[in-house]
Amino acid sequence: MSGIYIHIPFCKQACHYCDFHFSTSMKKKGDLISALAKELELRKDEFKNSSVETIYFGGGTPSLLSNDELQFIIDSVYKNYKVSDNPEITLEANPDDLSKERIIALSKSPINRLSIGIQSFFESDLKLMNRAHNANEAKSCLEEATKHFDNISLDLIYGIPGASNAQWLANIEMALSFGVPHISSYALTVEPKTALASFIKKGIIDNVDDEQAHEQFHLLKAKLESSGFVHYELSNFGKEGFFSKNNSAYWQGKSYLGIGPSAHSFNGKQRGWNVSNNSKYIKAIQQNELPIEIETLTQTDQYNEYVMTGLRTIWGVSFNKVESDFGILFKDYLIEQSEIFINQQLLYIDDGHLRVTKKGQFLCDGIASELFKIN
């Protein structure tokens, strides 16, 4: 199985915490869309032996594209690739782009999954993060979207300075009240060179409180699990049958094509990343060149990636897989390195798989890095 990720690098305004690749100028939108279609054509041979099961519009803000523009890109996928019968086609969308009319039109398109960037239902949080939507838009778009789509995910951010645990619980309860089957939730992180980092440095905004973020993560987990959600990846909760197929494929090491500026690709052995600059991207594609840098992963890199992604998921890290893919020395190394964390009740072994305990979950990335091998 394979997936295609398409990066739409435009946003209405810059959220204060964001370090993704996007531009707030839409001047090059037409050229960019033509370049995306052309990149799909230029790379069609990379997937000639497998069919596409997921198409994911991420960004940036893909909902800034019109339905016709999205349809044009989807048509380019179908024109150049073998697409399975019922692909998952996800659109990341922001509430301010999801009017009633837009949602109805989208529901009649091939897009069958919406991932909505709600982040919070509180005006104070949305202002602090400089989101383009307000709390009413967050609620009204969900009211309408749930009438027309079964498969909806929403994003929420926890650990926002000034947002109490009670406010966070109210956010979760509000999200649950719409009956969505999937929620992704991330801790607010302070990335270097963002407006958030600079406001914190100047004392305009309080720094994020790691302890509070940790508490809010556990509140989220308890609330969603008691509401029938499966915590299937560190930042993702879904009802049975509604796990993101696109993201699950990443975590299970399946191959995907990343189309568009800054998009990443993976073919099982090599990782590629496109240039993070809209003008350079368009220019290269217009000259029939792929603006991509490729790195061939060593066996150690592949082991480290498997440990990192495996530990974040409910599927865990399979000792058999480590042995069959990387050899007995890697398996012995993993057993040896994990012992201390097992003794500290941060990891446990179940059915031949290494998994994080509830206590270890929030620390998962740090634990994984201790299990890495160095080249």
Residue (119 or 255) nearer to ligand SF4, CB: 119
Strand boundaries in the chain, DSSP class E: 2-8, 52-59, 83-93, 113-119, 152-158, 182-187, 230-233, 236-238, 255-259, 264-266, 270-274, 292-296, 317-318, 347-350, 353-356
User: What b/e sequence results for 105-140 when a residue is b if at least 16 CB atoms lie within 10 Å of its CB, and e otherwise?
Assistant: ebeeeebbbbbbbbbbbbeebbebbebbbebebbbb
**AA identity, residue 115:** S
Residue among 155, 136, 43 at smallest CA distance from 93: 155
| First-residue to last-residue Cα distance in the chain | 30
Residues 98-157 that bind ligand SF4 (CB under 6 A): 117
Quote the CA–CA distance of 214 and 205 in Å, as a whole number: 20
User: Of the candidates 1, 20, 102, 321, which one interacts with ligand SF4 according to CB under 6 A?
Assistant: 20
Residue (64 or 308) nearer to ligand SF4, CB: 64
Residue (14 or 290) nearer to ligand SF4, CB: 14
Token pair 């929030």 is found at 362
**Distances from the Cα of 326 to the Cα of 106, 255, 320, 330, angstroms:** 45, 18, 10, 6
User: Of the candidates 4, 8, 11, 83, which one interacts with ligand SF4 according to CB under 6 A?
Assistant: 11
- The minimum distance between CB 175 and ligand SF4, in angstroms, equals 18
Does 186 interact with ligand SF4 (rule: CB under 6 A)?
no
- The minimum distance between CB 14 and ligand SF4, in angstroms, equals 5
Residue (142 or 368) nearer to ligand SF4, CB: 142
Does 14 interact with ligand SF4 (rule: CB under 6 A)?
yes
**AA identity, residue 237:** F
User: Of the candidates 60, 62, 260, 272, which one interacts with ligand SF4 according to CB under 6 A?
Assistant: 60
- The minimum distance between CB 171 and ligand SF4, in angstroms, equals 17
Quote the CA–CA distance of 325 and 268 in Å, as a whole number: 12
- The minimum distance between CB 354 and ligand SF4, in angstroms, equals 33
Both structure tokens of 106: 């989208």
Residue (90 or 94) nearer to ligand SF4, CB: 94
Biggest CA–CA distance in the chain, Å, is 58
Residue among 172, 102, 179, 188 at smallest CA distance from 137: 102
User: Of the candidates 18, 42, 176, 342, which one interacts with ligand SF4 according to CB under 6 A?
Assistant: 18
Residue (53 or 155) nearer to ligand SF4, CB: 155
Chain Cα centroid distance, residue 70: 19
Q: What share of the chain is helix, strand, coil (3-state, %, to 5)?
A: 45, 20, 30
Does 58 interact with ligand SF4 (rule: CB under 6 A)?
no
* Site track for ligand SF4 across 78-97, x = CB under 6 A: ----------------x---
User: Of the candidates 4, 15, 128, 183, which one interacts with ligand SF4 according to CB under 6 A?
Assistant: 15
- The minimum distance between CB 22 and ligand SF4, in angstroms, equals 5
Token pair 């997921």 is found at 54
Q: Of the listed pieces 14-22, 33-41, 73-81, 244-252, which binds ligand SF4 according to CB under 6 A?
A: 14-22
Residue (117 or 291) nearer to ligand SF4, CB: 117
- The minimum distance between CB 132 and ligand SF4, in angstroms, equals 7
Residues that bind ligand SF4 (CB under 6 A): 11, 14-15, 18, 20, 22, 59-61, 94, 117
